[in-house]
Chains A and B, each alone.
Chain A
Amino acid sequence: MPKKELETANRPDNTAFTQQRLPAWQPILSAGIVIPGFVLIGLAFIGIGVALFLTSRNITVLEMDYTGVETTSDCYKCSAGTLPNCVCNLYFTLNETFPGTVYFYYGLSNYFQSYRKFGASRDDNQLSGDTYYFTSPLAVCTPYQYDVNNNPIVPCGISANSMFNDTFNLYQLVNGSKTVPLDGRGIAWWSDYNIKFRNPTSDPLRNAFNGTVKPPFWSKPVFELDLTDKSNNGFLNQDFLVWMRRAALPNFRKLYRRITGPDYASGLPPGNYTIEIAYNYPVMSFNGRKKVVLSNVSWMGGKNDFLGVAYLVVGSLCIVMSMVMLIVYAKFKFPDDV
């Protein structure tokens, strides 16, 4: 049955929305309008660029390769990887004070933590202290899931297995050698240390790891990573945490220590230094390089001239554009450009 309807039941609503008459801002991009914008952006960018550039200039960075590819290098002897427990020294001299809190990084080149299977090959359940996964790690950890005797590996997977295991000691060569204390606390992310990673609740810690084996590449089990500090063991070991946060790019550095010792809180004084390196980590298999980086930081992080230069260039470009626009505007003016 046909519905009863009003004579104009079909009449569309005469509203601004249905009639597409909503009030609208209709900018037309034209030379005249954009001149102030270009000038403003240009000036702002130049300002930021100068600030960034100056900041970056004030950051001191000292990078030293210790892979030992050159025969002159002290670490050359270790680079072949044939000597067990090879120790080499890296000497350097500071002519002026290295100001501020100095951060001690190790750097790796051509190292692909970003390799897809590298990231996948870990068991977050283990790492959050779930002991169930101690006995049966996830299959993604293969081939570092079980050892040849079918014992579960904890922590499993490549990520953990490939942990960087060079260690460094810094000495200032003044009247013999004076140890520069390196502070390894708080170098990992707060969230990783406090939330994401958890040790199993057992005392002593090693009991939780009964029946498991250490990753094949490791020399020490995870609960004995730091013999000096009991709390810096297990999955909450700072170096482990730092390693487990995957680097985005193949050339990366990772924080090793901060130099906060009483004599060095405001920087490293000028003088001769040596870094004693326990050279364990093989990098020649992938044409990699290892280096030590000493750097202080600012509000913009580490030293990076790129951003400052980029801002300066783009800022100047904007200023140039505004000039061009001014000419264009003068020549091709539109009636409504007032």
Chain B
Amino acid sequence: MFIGALFTTAKETRSREHEKDLRILVSNLPYEGLPKTKQPNRYFPGNAVKTTKYSLWFFIPMNLYEQFHRFANLYFVGLAVLNFVPAVEAFQPEVAIVPICVMLALTALKDGWEDCRRFRSDRRINHTSCRVYSRKVSGFVERHWKDVRVGDLVEVASNEIIPADLLLLHTSDLNGVCHIETASLDGETNLKRRLVVPGLNTQDSSFEPQNFHCTVAVEKPNDNLNQFKGYIETSDMKRLGFGIDSLLPRGCTVRNTDLATGFVVYTGHETKSMMNKNGPQYKRSKLECKMNIDVLFCVILLFSMCLIGALGHYVWLESLPSVPLFLTPGSHGHMDSNPLSGLYMFFTMIILLQIFIPISLYVSIEMVKMGQIFFITNDVDLYEEKTDSRVQCRALNIPEDLGNIHYVFSDKTGTLTENKMVFRRCSVTGTEYSHNENGKSGKLPSRTGWTLEDDQEPEAVQQSQEGQQPHSGGGHHRNKETGNAQGKAAFSSPLETEVVPDRKLLQRVLAGGGDWDGCGGIRRCEATDLYLDFFLALTVCNTVVVSTATTARAQRQRVPSLFQSPGEVLQTALQKMFVFSRLCHTLSSWQPMTEDLDTDHNSGCHHSAAGDQTSHRHQSTSEIDISAQRCYVAESPDEAALVHAAKVYGFMLIARTPNSVKVRLPHGVELNYQVLDTLNFDPHRKRMSVVLRHPISGEIVMYTKGADYTVMDKLIWACLNTAQKNVAASTQRHLNWYAKEGLHTLCFAKKVLSESAYKNWSLLRQEALAAIDNREELLMETAVNLEKQLTLLGATGIEDRLQECVPDTVMALREAGVRLWVLTGDKAETAINIAHASRLLDQEDLVIHMNTDDKAVCKSILDRSLEEGRRHTRPGYPGLSIGLVIDGHTLDMALQSDLVDRFLELARLCRSVLCCRVTPLQKSTVVKVVRERLKVMTLAVGDGANDVNMIQAADVGIGISGQEGMQAVMASDFSISCFKHMKKLLLVHGHWCNSRLSNMAIYFFYKNVTYVNLLFWYQFFCGFSGTSMIDIWLLIFFNLFFTSTPPIMFGVMDRDVSAETLLGLPELYRTGHESEGYSHFTFWIAMLDAFYQSLVCFFIPYLTYQGTDIDIYTFGSSMNTVSLFNILLHLAIEIKSWTLVHWVTMLGSVALYFTVTLVYSATCISCNPPSDPYWTTQQQMSEPIFYLVCVITTVVALLPRFTYRVLSNTLAPTPLIRARHLERLDPAIREQWIKEWRGFRGGPQGGRSYQKQTQEQEPSRITPTLSITNNHLGTPTRSAVRHHHNVEL
């Protein structure tokens, strides 16, 4: 950094290159009180943040500038300006700008309000106080956040929010640990550990900020939350490197640490949190894209109409023999030449007919979408009681896309499954322990078993570790905006922690344990008894932190107000915690002891519960046994599951500090192992290890845990004897079997290290840790060096259960014509297992497996499968439905440019596709390829950070606020709390939003064209002179007030088919894929209808009043009234269900029209020259012929549409119409119909035959049974039902 370097020129001469990317900072303290120009850090921005878009003085120009970026606005303003040119004006210029002003003002008002809210929140944040060290008072003084500068030393206390990005220099904790909660940053509500800069000796003595004279070098600000590096150069020229572990990011909350002091490195907009704040996402829905094309068509139409007007005017002028009395010469006394007049007239026409382009359409659509989103978020069915969360719509402008989804891409873990781990099976030294009772405790039916994909996929793991876990203290409630991921759900499920020990294994362990009394016994057993090692590995080889009551104390303030007094609060929180009443071990500190395990991408942890919930439930005094309150905070659910499992066998994790881990063995002996090193999990190694020193023997042991293949490969095969080989082989067999069962497998191994070997390695390790460049690579290299020649201990199988109603939801989506792809980091076996359980695949489906490393093979597989697939999906052939299982490697090849077409062709034939072992990048690539190549609407749903790419790549991204943090939710357009909500979200809300909005948009086009065309037809009777026969105010009001509410209400509230029916008959969703929604065809039909109706509305009054003495505004007002009735009744034909709201708006619009026109024409004597509406309406309404004209015009205008609707509903009813008829049946009969159909369809045969039927595009598609009824001419329904029923019986 150039500026930074300036200050250090005196001191620094070396290695400049590097430092180009660095910022050199020094403490502000020596410069305190000096003028600004002397301040070393003056060039860095202050800590005040400004998120407002506008400033007070420039709001109007800036907002207008912003708004004029929208083309439509520019167009209308251009027209308004054009109107001020006297040669072409069509209206009084002042009046003509009213509509655009109203539009701009409304938008400005909205923007201003939003900005005002941002401003107030900024001000609140900027004026929050914090404590900054001041040399003058030799202590910390209160300052506002905005006054914090780079180089300041800031102190934060527990539960305070960090004002800027701080480099941690000192904490009140002896170990130099500070816990923070990063909920505001990434939504994760777990605690993360931060460490004082390693090597900085601030912890031992009392820290004096004044004595901090080091130079701090940090990298340039960036938005990577997980990356931060730099070094401190101490006064003795020693460089101390630090990473993200030492950074306290702005906006996070300090927890469990009384005081922490930090050096401000980034301020204001350069902080990590501010750099990560990006504006709201803007996605454009497919419907809007189509609509924009139609707007273009409208523009073309408009221009041709204007051209007709211009030509007409020219021809008309030419036809006049000389200048008649009624023509106005220009001000210069003579007429413009005829061609010039024609040219002027072209522009006049554009002004006159401008609302041909529906100006209010965009505003109305925004309003409608707001209404739709209101209803979506208010759906009580999409509310999850357990987490107190409802569906959130983060993208406000694509609700209708939900109704038009062709492909759903789903994550597996946490999306289809619950991501709650249950220890199910284990295999120790080649012996399998089935834990049968444990299996039974999974009471839920039809659940075979689920795995966690943790080890298989690099980023999946990263994500699961970053992932957020709920706090075990039940009182810990998340902020609303970060989403209530989980709440108490984790504790309500006993399955997670309740492990019933396998009797055989327990006996074995206890038998072995008989020898363990006393240290010698332990020593001996360790050598002989691998069981002890196995359970020790389970207990210690993890990052689980034992949290004590402190956590609850820190979280007390967030306990819901349900609990009144603090005492009660605490008590409740404690009761909710899992309590070890037997344990009398007292901890010296309330601080949770943690282990040095956090790394760059390894910052999350999992709070999970331990112990027996009931034992203390009714205790009235909460203070007793407070030392024994203990819960396990783990990074991933399976770690917690393993620790809980070990606990059942008597191996209990008691405490963990960065350097030690305390374990209680089955017979009460507590051992305090020294932790020499921890090799964290990383996606490449896919394993983690802990190096321990035995407290008594001093032996150095490494325990390793990881995915089966990564551990099995590292065994010392060479020196295995036959027995050991057998063990390894049978363990591998068990592992395979677990995977087939759908269990998540982990392999455990150990290695005994010699003192010297460890020393050598340790040196390398230190070097790697100190490295600044490619530190990660070096660290990994050292880890790999150590993790070899392992001794196998055993393997475990953990179950991840399917979420509630997943098979049902999958079935429904399948029936809805949505293709479901599962993209998982898991193995193929597990994925297939889940696919079967969730009914993605049926037993008799043809499943194509693709797993090859060779491209030629891949190609030939594709070709063969394609042939096979085509054979099976040929129309009329009762083929099987096809499922495709493809491996990550193979997928890469299949997506290469020469194979991708074949692959997609095959994928199109498949009903479901499983992609296994895919990386997040592949996930998003798949989505993109399908979306772009097949030109279909895609939806991606996921819950973890590994799904973020995919969610953003898809047309619609849905985040599940589950157990794995909030990244997915943050990136998503909609967030739900469980997969089953997809069903209603898509089938009901998606369908509704789509049909509502498309109908409304079409109607808007129709409405404007119908109305504007009246003006156009009139041009033939006024010499194409741009006269409007309708008073301009009434013209404006007509669109703005009289006919705007009903269509908006129509767009928000119309309901073609009830939610029950839509859920009962998912097939109805397909209508959104086809012409029922918005299409160019419906648009042109509406246009034709609009032209017809406008012709009728113009020419019936024309023929009636032809040759009479009717004056221009009476003539216009009759047309206005006729149009009102016509336009409203047209809507009435389209409205599917009339609620009170519909009646009120419709009748209200008519009432408003008459009130306003009557009042207006009674008061406007000559208020608006040249128009002369005075008394016209009154005059007209006194004549009977006016009413007769109204009646016949409306009838004639609407007759074709009405008849068409009636006939098409009767002769060729769409599925939706059939469904509506179904709704009218007696509820009992209807239920029967739906149930029978579902049963019919649920069967393999039925499902398939239906599938076929839809592919053939048969006209009667909704239900075969319904079409049967149709063929029974006149047969009463009930008998038809009975008939069908008998067949079924």
Q: Are A19 and B558 closer than 8 Å at their CB atoms? A: no
Question: In the bound complex, how far is the Cα of B1036 from the Cα of A27, in angstroms?
Answer: 33
Q: Are B1188 and A112 closer than 8 Å at their CB atoms? A: no
Write out, one digit per residue, whether chain B residues 328-345 have a CB within 8 A of any chain A CB (1) or not (0): 111101000000000000
A202: Cβ under 8 A from any B Cβ: no
Q: Are A300 and B1209 closer than 8 Å at their CB atoms? A: no
Query: Which of chain A's residues has its CB closest to B1056's CB?
Result: A26
Question: In the bound complex, how far is the Cα of B1022 from the Cα of A248, in angstroms?
Answer: 8
Q: Are A124 and B1169 closer than 8 Å at their CB atoms? A: yes
Chain A residues whose C-beta falls within 8 Å of the C-beta of B377 in the assembled complex? 12
Question: In the bound complex, how far is the Cα of B1107 from the Cα of A249, in angstroms?
Answer: 8
In angstroms, how far is the closest chain A Cβ from the Cβ of B418? 21
Write out, one digit per residue, whether chain A residues 24-36 have a CB within 8 A of any chain B CB (1) or not (0): 1111111111100
Q: Are A328 and B388 closer than 8 Å at their CB atoms? A: no
Stretch at the interface among A86-94, A227-235, A261-269, A280-288: A280-288
Q: Are B1172 and A246 closer than 8 Å at their CB atoms? A: yes
Q: Which of A18, A26, A31, A299 is the one whose CB lies under 8 Å from B1207?
A: A31
Chain B residues whose C-beta falls within 8 Å of the C-beta of A27 in the assembled complex? 1138
In angstroms, how far is the closest chain B Cβ from the Cβ of A67? 14
B1106: Cβ under 8 A from any A Cβ: yes
Q: Which of B321, B328, B1053 is the one whose CB lies under 8 Å from A121?
A: B328
A6: Cβ under 8 A from any B Cβ: yes
User: Which A residues between 207 and 234 are near B, CB-CB below 8 angstroms?
Assistant: 217
Q: Which of A121, A192, A249 is the one whose CB lies under 8 Å from B1105?
A: A249
Q: Are B1111 and A115 closer than 8 Å at their CB atoms? A: no
In angstroms, how far is the closest chain B Cβ from the Cβ of A305? 10
Query: Which of chain B's residues has its CB closest to A1's CB?
Result: B557
User: Which A residues between 84 and 114 are near B, CB-CB below 8 angstroms?
Assistant: 105, 107, 111-114
B506: Cβ under 8 A from any A Cβ: no
In angstroms, how far is the closest chain A Cβ from the Cβ of B562? 6
B1025: Cβ under 8 A from any A Cβ: yes
Query: Which of chain A's residues has its CB closest to B92's CB?
Result: A120
Query: Which of chain A's residues has its CB closest to B1110's CB?
Result: A248
Q: Are A307 and B1025 closer than 8 Å at their CB atoms? A: no
Chain B residues whose C-beta falls within 8 Å of the C-beta of A162 in the assembled complex? 325-326
Q: Which of B1055, B1108, B1172 is the one whose CB lies under 8 Å from A301?
A: B1108
Q: Are A245 and B1111 closer than 8 Å at their CB atoms? A: yes
Chain A residues whose C-beta falls within 8 Å of the C-beta of B1172 in the assembled complex? 119, 196, 245-246
Chain B residues whose C-beta falls within 8 Å of the C-beta of A119 in the assembled complex? 1027, 1112, 1170-1172
Query: Which of chain B's residues has its CB closest to A41's CB?
Result: B1195
Q: Are A314 and B1195 closer than 8 Å at their CB atoms? A: yes
B877: Cβ under 8 A from any A Cβ: no
Chain A residues whose C-beta falls within 8 Å of the C-beta of B1224 in the assembled complex? 28, 336
Question: In the bound complex, how far is the Cα of B1213 from the Cα of A321, in angstroms?
Answer: 19
Chain A residues whose C-beta falls within 8 Å of the C-beta of B1055 in the assembled complex? 20, 24, 26
Chain A residues whose C-beta falls within 8 Å of the C-beta of B1184 in the assembled complex? 299-300
B10: Cβ under 8 A from any A Cβ: no
B322, B1210, B1277: most-surrounded residue (chain A CB, <10 A): B1210
A279: Cβ under 8 A from any B Cβ: no
Write out, one digit per residue, whether chain B residues 1171-1191 have a CB within 8 A of any chain A CB (1) or not (0): 110110001000111001100
A259: Cβ under 8 A from any B Cβ: no
B1115: Cβ under 8 A from any A Cβ: yes
Write out, one digit per residue, whether chain A residues 252-292 have a CB within 8 A of any chain B CB (1) or not (0): 11110000000000000000000000000011111110000
A22: Cβ under 8 A from any B Cβ: yes
In angstroms, how far is the closest chain B Cβ from the Cβ of A301? 6
A5: Cβ under 8 A from any B Cβ: yes
Q: Are A332 and B1211 closer than 8 Å at their CB atoms? A: yes
Chain B residues whose C-beta falls within 8 Å of the C-beta of A300 in the assembled complex? 1184-1185, 1188
Chain A residues whose C-beta falls within 8 Å of the C-beta of B770 in the assembled complex? none
A285 and B325 in contact, given A26-B1138, A249-B1021, A250-B1021 (Cβ under 8 angstroms): yes
User: Which A residues between 295 and 333 are near B, CB-CB below 8 angstroms?
Assistant: 299-302, 304, 306-307, 310-311, 314, 317, 321, 325, 328-333
B956: Cβ under 8 A from any A Cβ: no
Stretch at the interface among B648-656, B1198-1206, B1240-1248: B1198-1206
Question: In the bound complex, how far is the Cα of B1023 from the Cα of A322, in angstroms?
Answer: 43
Query: Which of chain B's residues has its CB closest to A247's CB?
Result: B1111
Chain A residues whose C-beta falls within 8 Å of the C-beta of B1205 in the assembled complex? 29
Question: In the bound complex, how far is the Cα of B1139 from the Cα of A304, in angstroms?
Answer: 42
A20 and B324 in contact, given A10-B484, A321-B1203 (Cβ under 8 angstroms): no
A120 and B1109 in contact, given A10-B388, A20-B1055, A249-B1021 (Cβ under 8 angstroms): no
Question: In the bound complex, how far is the Cα of B389 from the Cα of A252, in angstroms?
Answer: 70
Write out, one digit per residue, whether chain B residues 1052-1073 have a CB within 8 A of any chain A CB (1) or not (0): 0101000100000000000000
Chain B residues whose C-beta falls within 8 Å of the C-beta of A217 in the assembled complex? 325
Q: Are B1170 and A122 closer than 8 Å at their CB atoms? A: yes
User: Which A residues between 1 and 57 are near B, CB-CB below 8 angstroms?
Assistant: 1-14, 18-20, 22-34, 41, 45, 48, 52
B375: Cβ under 8 A from any A Cβ: yes
B480: Cβ under 8 A from any A Cβ: yes
Query: Which of chain A's residues has its CB closest to B1107's CB?
Result: A251
A191: Cβ under 8 A from any B Cβ: yes
Q: Are A120 and B323 closer than 8 Å at their CB atoms? A: no
Query: Which of chain B's residues has its CB closest to A338's CB?
Result: B1276
A10 and B1209 in contact, given A4-B561, A20-B375, A114-B1112 (Cβ under 8 angstroms): no
B1287: Cβ under 8 A from any A Cβ: no
Q: Are A31 and B1185 closer than 8 Å at their CB atoms? A: no
Question: In the bound complex, how far is the Cα of B1221 from the Cα of A336, in angstroms?
Answer: 7
Question: In the bound complex, how far is the Cα of B1191 from the Cα of A48, in angstroms?
Answer: 11
A118: Cβ under 8 A from any B Cβ: yes
Q: Are B1185 and A115 closer than 8 Å at their CB atoms? A: no
A128: Cβ under 8 A from any B Cβ: yes
Chain B residues whose C-beta falls within 8 Å of the C-beta of A41 in the assembled complex? 1195
Chain B residues whose C-beta falls within 8 Å of the C-beta of A112 in the assembled complex? 324, 326, 1022-1023, 1025
Chain A residues whose C-beta falls within 8 Å of the C-beta of B333 in the assembled complex? 143
Q: Are B1221 and A115 closer than 8 Å at their CB atoms? A: no
Question: In the bound complex, how far is the Cα of B1141 from the Cα of A17, in angstroms?
Answer: 10
B1140: Cβ under 8 A from any A Cβ: yes
A31 and B561 in contact, given A45-B1192, A301-B1108 (Cβ under 8 angstroms): no
Q: Which of B330, B477, B1139 is the one whose CB lies under 8 Å from A2?
A: B477
User: Which B residues between 377 and 399 are near A, CB-CB below 8 angstroms?
Assistant: 377-380, 383, 385, 388-390
User: Which B residues between 539 and 563 are near A, CB-CB below 8 angstroms?
Assistant: 557-562
Q: Are A22 and B1140 closer than 8 Å at their CB atoms? A: yes
Chain A residues whose C-beta falls within 8 Å of the C-beta of B1195 in the assembled complex? 41, 45, 314
Question: In the bound complex, how far is the Cα of B1169 from the Cα of A112, in angstroms?
Answer: 18
B1104: Cβ under 8 A from any A Cβ: yes
Query: Which of chain A's residues has its CB closest to B1208's CB?
Result: A29
Q: Which of B380, B1136, B1185 is the one whose CB lies under 8 Å from A307?
A: B1185
Q: Which of B320, B559, B1059 is the one whose CB lies under 8 Å from A285?
A: B320
Query: Which of chain A's residues has its CB closest to B1136's CB?
Result: A26
B378, B561, B1107, B1225: most-surrounded residue (chain A CB, <10 A): B1107
Chain A residues whose C-beta falls within 8 Å of the C-beta of B583 in the assembled complex? none
Question: In the bound complex, how far is the Cα of B559 from the Cα of A5, in angstroms?
Answer: 9
A206: Cβ under 8 A from any B Cβ: no
Query: Which of chain B's residues has its CB closest to A4's CB?
Result: B561
Query: Which of chain B's residues has its CB closest to A11's CB?
Result: B383
Chain B residues whose C-beta falls within 8 Å of the C-beta of A127 in the assembled complex? 1166
B153: Cβ under 8 A from any A Cβ: no
A204: Cβ under 8 A from any B Cβ: no
Question: In the bound complex, how far is the Cα of B1203 from the Cα of A41, in angstroms?
Answer: 14
Chain A residues whose C-beta falls within 8 Å of the C-beta of B1274 in the assembled complex? 330, 333
A285 and B323 in contact, given A119-B1112, A307-B1185, A314-B1192 (Cβ under 8 angstroms): yes
Task: Give me the 6 closest cross-chain CB pairs, A-B, nearest first.
Answer: A335-B1277, A4-B561, A248-B1115, A124-B1166, A286-B324, A114-B1022
Given contact pairs A28-B1209, A158-B325, A248-B1115, a sample of 12 additional A-B residue pairs in the complex whose CB atoms are under 8 Å apart: A1-B557, A5-B560, A11-B383, A12-B379, A23-B1139, A25-B1138, A26-B1220, A127-B1166, A128-B1165, A249-B1107, A285-B322, A332-B1210
List 7 A-B pairs, Cβ < 8 Å: A5-B561, A18-B380, A31-B1207, A45-B1195, A252-B1108, A285-B320, A335-B1225
